[in-house]
Amino acid sequence: MTISEGSPNIDRVIDSLIELWQEFQNMQQNQNVEDEKKNRDLAMGFLNCAKDDIRAVKILYEKQLLSLSVYHLQQAVEKTTKAYALALSVVTTRELKEIKHKGPLTFIKLLKKKWAMAYINLVKTLNPNVNVNIIDKVEKIINKEQKELAEMPKTVICTYLNSVKQMRNILQKQMYPQIDKAINLLEPLLHEETENLKKAIDAALRTGIVASFISLYLLSVITYSHSTFTRYPDGEIKPSDYYSRRLEIVECINDILSEVEICVNALEQEYGLKGGYE
């Protein structure tokens, strides 16, 4: 029996849902309340710093201080990513120190968590054509020639940003209806556990959070290399020249910034991480 014509096998969807539910419960049981509070407080701190960077991007861009505007854009992405990683228990504070300024490493840490692997299995079950093997890609990004990344053309940047919008659409219009149908079919088997499953799945698959974390991965790819090139005049890319005339990321600053703001707002709203100032 299938959910609908051309959709994945319901038994596989159910198995994937149960796997995710179990791993998500294990993650919650293993969380230390005190550590969770520390992570939450630190996540809020990173989020507040990211919001300051967002303000800086806008001011510097308006003044045409383009290299510094891109620098703070990269910092906003990095700090928002770290806020997500802490809020979602993707990393510990010790692991965060190991990551340092290599924001893409956060996603390698995430993809090695059992609950994240269970989520990937569910995504693959629901959408077999989706390419979810990104660990190798992240490692290649970190080891890649950074000048080549910094010179990413506008067309490629726009492709990444469009991918984010498509993923949000897939989550909202395709995955969630399929998951709801699968959970309803599970109800006779689980009885009183059905509501717990629904709550756990809802917590694990929050549309805004999942889509935003995927967005941050792509934004990290776009901005990662600019943490250095934006600041020092003795590198392969010189701030005073390249950012004013040659690098096409400058043309995309506002579009990238809009995505970062969506990510910040999603974390604030769904996890209650509203900062102490605006």
Q: Which of 181, 152, 176, 144 is nearest to 250 (CA)?
A: 152
pTM listed for this prediction: 0.77
Per-residue pLDDT band for 235 (boundaries 50, 70, 90) equals confident
As a whole number, the mean pLDDT across the chain is: 76
User: 48-100, pLDDT tens digit by residue?
Assistant: 999 999 999 999 999 999 999 999 999 999 999 889 888 877 777 777 777 76
Of 10-14, 63-67, 202-206, 227-231, least confident by mean pLDDT is 202-206
The residue with greater pLDDT, 80 or 245, is 80
Of 16-20, 31-35, 147-151, 156-160, the poorest mean pLDDT is in 31-35
Sign of the Cα pseudo-torsion (216, 219, 224, 229, in order): negative
What pLDDT digit, counting tens, does each position of 109-143 carry?
666 666 666 666 666 676 666 555 554 555 666 66
Mean pLDDT on 188-214: 64
Q: State phi, psi for 5 to the nearest 5 degrees.
A: -55, 125
Q: Is residue 204 part of a domain?
A: yes
Domain carrying residue 101: 10-271
Is 278 within the bounds of a domain? no
- Region 9-38: mean pLDDT is 67
Q: Is residue 2 part of a domain?
A: no
Does some domain include residue 5?
Answer: no
* Number of folded domains that form the chain: 1
Q: Looking at residue 240, what is its pLDDT? A: 84
Give mean pLDDT, residues 174-196: 64
Q: What is the mean pLDDT of residues 32-51?
A: 84
Q: What are phi and psi of 2, to 5 degrees?
A: -120, 160
* Cα-based distances in Å from 183 to 116, 177, 179: 20, 10, 6
- % of the chain beyond a pLDDT of 70: 57
Q: What's the pLDDT at 183?
A: 66
- Domain-embedded: residue 239: yes
Instruction: Please indicate, yes or no, if residue 1 is contained in any of the structural domains.
Output: no
Taking only the tens place, the pLDDT of each residue in 152-181 is 999 989 988 888 777 777 766 666 666 666
pLDDT of residue 92: 75
